[in-house]
Structure 1
């Protein structure tokens, strides 16, 4: 009888993603985009290849294929060019590519809040929302620096929504880190905005809540994401923000690695 070989989860490269997220993610939900997001086959294949370290990054060429390729990132030359580094670590991508992906996710949440309160929504998903919109029912701030009596360092979250009738405020901040860091990032966001939450409660006489919206660059989500989204006015589904994050990552990989049309 043949002995069973190691499962794919135990393989150094192909199993790395699964091992990295096992302790921090809701595994079923982290893979739900495969069934529910309606992505093109080529995009699904690209993200799965990225998860399995099967893309020809410079680090893979140098360390696995043993070529003479410089393993450092082609853009910043500061670290080995791995999938994780390209999708969430390179400072050269932080200003535009990561921000574009981040704003697409935040924009979904924003448009759903706007619709909930009958406020005007941006016409296109690429349109930047106005800094402040308001009606009798609610006020929404987008990337707005909030002045408080006591100085707090973190005073410019992605979205703040104030429900005037219920005297409630929700502070929303989005992050798309490496998948193994999703739980850590979620905790960081919660801690980061506690000072602002306290100041808003005092100054605006509201009950304030901080909700981090954190999705891994390759789709991993924590068990708390769905619960957090339910605390935000409007109906934002987990799959909608997860799909947006994954699509943003696919764009980053295609551009950076100059992948052929198949991807």
Structure 2
């Protein structure tokens, strides 16, 4: 024990006890105190993470907050504190656990998808293991290419043994995660079925991240076939319960709940269908300067609305000189300036039936199209608007919207489908005794979600 060491400039270095001292945020003594630093970092990271998850941030802002405030606590120590692979994976596991507790993640959702970028269908959460490994490689590349003698000697001494470009590592890890997700029999089913038909706009809802974290987590779990419907509980979990729908005697799968139950067709499915058609009607009214509400979700279409530019019919039966069964499109647009008529019909099928639905709509209104063209002596076109039940936007949708020249983003109609589908799944799972995830509330979407969607739509 000494009183300290006196330096030439007169300053005195005091005696350092076992607790060590902090230098640039790292606890040191005779050497870096790795165990103590790791305990401190873990505690601070979890404290920040819990505070973020307890907040009322929407899904996108929640991920941004974790990336901005929580992850840097651990990232800063990369290359200095010696983390083991097991320790980093345990932190990732605890992160997922607390996300599940706060209803931001379904316990059976694909974990690889959680760390994939939203542009590619993931949730965009940074993996702690990958963050530390990327920083280690970035530090190694910096030491290796530095011109400073001290930094060169640090590289030569082997203070970091990783010699790999961080971007190459990042791309390799992301590719591996995507392959593992897509190749899984259940979790990758959605991606395999929609790969050929999905447009680049399909993942807009994840990129914008305006939904509540509970809603986003539920929709991604539904896409991964992770929701515990009665059919899944019977066939996979082995529970002794009936997997049959009590209303239509069909197996209760997620696709049955979302789009195939005839008992829901005239109420829940029709409400979802009308919400998309209302969005389109609202955009056409704004384009042709017809009366409409300021907000798309408050719009209430009238049966017939007209001015000098256009006439729009809402769910209106068109009478002609002979009987045609399919004579009631969802929206009929008569453009008086361009002298053309558009028969617009909306469909929201399950995610494997888009091409069939488009063909069905074209065939369904072919007789009406021919007859109107003869009577009115104007060109008539059939415009099918198809958005899949679990948010997939087909490539053909953009082409059909361009025909209408309507200033409506596909993502706006996509939001309507997602919110209504989430409501349907919550209600049915609750009434049929299915399990969403422990503690998940069964409620309708909140107006705050619609307000946020409206703000985001103005930025598109």
Work out whether 1:187 is the aligned partner of 2:359: yes
Distance of 2:442 and 2:186 partners within structure 1: 23
Distance of 1:178 and 1:42 partners within structure 2: 22
Find the counterpart in structure 1 of residue 261 from structure 2.
Answer: 90
Contact 1:171 1:211 (C-alpha < 8 Å) held by counterparts: yes
Contact 2:248 2:261 (C-alpha < 8 Å) held by counterparts: no
Aligned pairs for 1:2-17 (under 5 A) are: 7-17=180-190
Q: 1:112 aligns with which of 256, 278, 283?
A: 283
Q: Secondary structure at the match of 1:231?
A: helix
Work out whether 1:170 is the aligned partner of 2:342: yes
Contact 2:276 2:416 (C-alpha < 8 Å) held by counterparts: yes
Find the counterpart in structure 1 of residue 306 from structure 2.
Answer: 134
Distance of 1:194 and 1:252 partners within structure 2: 32
1:230 deviation in Å?
Answer: 1.4
Distance of 1:80 and 1:262 partners within structure 2: 22
Work out whether 1:70 is the aligned partner of 2:242: yes
1:123 deviation in Å?
Answer: 7.0
Name stretches of at least 5 consecutive residues in structure 2 with no aligned partner: 1-175, 431-435, 444-460
Point out the structure with the larger helix share: 2
Contact 1:37 1:240 (C-alpha < 8 Å) held by counterparts: no
Contact 1:24 1:180 (C-alpha < 8 Å) held by counterparts: no
Find the counterpart in structure 1 of residue 195 from structure 2.
Answer: 22
Instruction: Tell me which moved more, 36-45 or 92-101.
Output: 36-45
Find the counterpart in structure 1 of residue 78 from structure 2.
Answer: none
Q: Secondary structure at the match of 2:413?
A: helix
Find the counterpart in structure 1 of residue 328 from structure 2.
Answer: 156
Calculate the aligned-residue CA RMSD, in Å: 2.0
1:180 deviation in Å?
Answer: 0.8
1:8 deviation in Å?
Answer: 2.0
Instruction: Tell me which moved more, 125-134 or 178-187.
Output: 125-134
Find the counterpart in structure 1 of residue 222 from structure 2.
Answer: 50
Find the counterpart in structure 1 of residue 403 from structure 2.
Answer: 231
What is the CA deviation profile of residues 189-226 of structure 1, one whole-angstrom value per residue up to 9, with x for unaligned ones?
12211221121211122211111110111011211101
What is the CA deviation profile of residues 132-186 of structure 1, one whole-angstrom value per residue up to 9, with x for unaligned ones?
1111211100001101234322110100010112111111100111011112112
Distance of 1:227 and 1:37 partners within structure 2: 25
Work out whether 1:256 is the aligned partner of 2:436: no
Contact 1:132 1:139 (C-alpha < 8 Å) held by counterparts: yes
Find the counterpart in structure 1 of residue 270 from structure 2.
Answer: 99
Find the counterpart in structure 1 of residue 457 from structure 2.
Answer: none
1:244 deviation in Å?
Answer: 0.9
Distance of 2:405 and 2:274 partners within structure 1: 18
Contact 2:282 2:299 (C-alpha < 8 Å) held by counterparts: no
TM-score normalised to structure 2 length:
0.53
Distance of 2:408 and 2:347 partners within structure 1: 16
1:128 deviation in Å?
Answer: 4.1
Distance of 1:204 and 1:46 partners within structure 2: 48
TM-score normalised to structure 1 length:
0.91
Q: How many residues align?
A: 258
Distance of 1:253 and 1:216 partners within structure 2: 15
Instruction: Tell me which moved more, 236-245 or 16-25.
Output: 16-25
Q: 1:198 aligns with which of 359, 362, 370?
A: 370
Find the counterpart in structure 1 of residue 99 from structure 2.
Answer: none
Distance of 2:209 and 2:286 partners within structure 1: 22
Distance of 1:121 and 1:71 partners within structure 2: 45
Find the counterpart in structure 2 of residue 146 from structure 1.
Answer: 318
Q: Secondary structure at the match of 2:352?
A: helix
Contact 1:37 1:239 (C-alpha < 8 Å) held by counterparts: no
Contact 1:150 1:199 (C-alpha < 8 Å) held by counterparts: no
